[in-house]
Amino acid sequence: MSVPHAAAIYSGDYHAVPLSHDSYHILDPDDFVASAVCWPGNTEDVSKAVKWANKWKVPIWPLSIGRNLGYGGSAPRVRGSVVLDLGRRMNKVLDVDVENAVCLIEPGVQYVTLYEHLQSIGVGNDLWIDVPDLPGGSVMGNALDRGVGYTPYGDHWAHHIGLEVVTPTGEVIRTGMGSMEGSECWQLFRYGFGPHQDGIFTQSNYGIVTKMGMELLPNPGGVRVFMAAFPQYDDLHEAIEVIRPLMIRKIIGNVPMVRLGLQDASLYKTRDDFELDERGVVKPDSAQKVLEELGTGAWVFYAALYGPDDVTLAKYNYIQEQFYKRIPNTKFYQREDVPENHYLHNYARFTTGIPTWRELDRMKWIPNAAHLFFAPLSANNGKDAGRQAAMGRKRMEEYGFNYLGTFFIGTRAMHHVISFMYNRKDIAEKKKALTCIRALIADAASIGVGEYRTHLALQDQVSKTYNWNDGAIMKFNEKLKDALDPNGILQPGRSGIWPKDYRGKGFEL
Q: Which residues are catalytic?
A: 71, 452-453
Does the footprint of ligand ADP cover residue 213 (CB under 6 A)?
no
Whole-number Å distance between alpha carbons of 508 and 496: 8
Tell me the closest approach of the beta carbon of residue 68 to ligand ADP, in angstroms. Answer: 3
Q: Does 141 bind ligand ADP (CB under 6 A)?
A: yes
Stretch 71-90: interaction string toward ligand ADP, x if CB under 6 A:
---x-----------x----
When binding is defined by CB under 6 A, the residue of 66, 70, 213, 488 that contacts ligand ADP is 66
For residues 97 and 118, is the Cβ–Cβ distance under 8 A? no
**Phi/psi of residue 231, nearest 5 degrees:** -70, -35
- Classify 371 as helix, strand or coil: strand
Residue range at the interface with ligand ADP (CB under 6 A); choices 62-70, 188-196, 266-274, 304-312: 62-70
Q: Find out whether 162 and 190 touch, Cβ atoms under 8 Å.
A: yes
List of residues 6+ apart from 244 with CB closer than 8 A: 380, 381
In whole angstroms, give the CA distance from residue 346 to residue 354.
9
> Residues 202, 144: contact at Cβ < 8 Å?
yes
Nearer CB in complex with ligand ADP: 86/385: 86
**Is residue 380 within 8 Å of residue 283, measured between CB atoms?**
no
For ligand ADP, the closer CB: 208 or 366: 208
Smaller CB separation from ligand ADP, 207 or 231: 207
Q: Is the dihedral of CA 112, 113, 118, 120 positive or negative?
A: positive
Among 9, 50, 78, 209, binds ligand ADP (CB under 6 A): 209
Residue nearest to ligand ADP (CB): 141
Could you say which of 81, 113, 142, 312 contacts ligand ADP (CB under 6 A)?
A: 142
Number of amino acids touching ligand ADP (CB under 6 A): 20
Distance separating alpha carbons of residues 186 and 212, to the nearest angstrom: 10
Q: What is the nearest approach in angstroms of ligand ADP to the Cβ of residue 63?
A: 4
Burial of 224 (0-12, 13-18, 19+ CB in 10 A): buried
Binding ligand ADP (rule: CB under 6 A), the pick from 62, 149, 253, 496 is 62
Window 101-140: contact mask with ligand ADP (x via CB under 6 A) = ------x-----------------------------xx-x
What is the binding site for ligand ADP (CB under 6 A)? 61-68, 74, 86, 107, 137-138, 140-142, 144-145, 208-209
